[in-house]
Structure 1
Amino acid sequence: MNSPQKGLELPRYETIAWDIARRIVQEEYREGVKLLGRSLLAAQYKVSPETIRKATALLQLHDVVQVIPGTGIVVKSRTAAEQFLTIAGNRQEFYELRDRINFLLEERRKIEKELEKCWQKLLRYLDPYHS
């Protein structure tokens, strides 16, 4: 599977959530297993504990993990992790298509501007009194 970051800069917490989900799908982290604590995950990913909190909250929202106060982060569902990766991939594809359309619209604008210049120049050749 490709990372959703290819081609654009997603928030760091989303890429971390994607990576954790990928590891669950690949069974590096198994269902029912407690993940490293927030501080250790923060050190591993070189981010703040708040970024890890956002990543795990996103995963909890999709039923991938369960955050249990005082206990930690427990892997809840490999199937939900697979679904999360599919959603993230679809979102990535949406952003890539949006960016491609914006790029093409800008290119079209440049081409239309150049066509207008050429058209005006051609008109001057055809009618030197036309301004």
Structure 2
Amino acid sequence: MSSTAPMTQQGRVLAGHNRISTQALTSLARAAAADALGVEANDVRADWSDDDGLLALSLVSPIRIPPLGSVLRNPERVAIFGGSIRDRAAAAKSVILDTVMELSGAQLSRVDIRISGTAVSERGRVL
């Protein structure tokens, strides 16, 4: 990704290009997804595709869940974790999209998430 917009420094306009490598953009997407889904970044796979000139991000990741025994004893644990897996994945899409666009300056058209498994945790995270 590159940007050709002029930049200013002490009143001067500086011409040039800024480039963000695909690897850097992928690392950013993996970190944003890991944060939103409550897992480690190295557990997230990110792929890019062209969507009519914009970037489409496809993610494959596990998602953190509470221990099932604790949910059976206290169904409120699902709410502590942010709701159902489906609801959390849907909410994570916009968080990931906004984070990647804000930090990289890239224009994304969409984020697709495929949940590949679960990671059990005792404590919930506020999303």
TM-score after normalising by structure 1: 0.25
- More strand as a share of residues: 2
Higher gyration radius (CA): 1
- More helix as a share of residues: 1
TM-score after normalising by structure 2: 0.26
Relative CO higher for 1 or 2, CA cutoff 8 Å, sep ≥ 6?
2
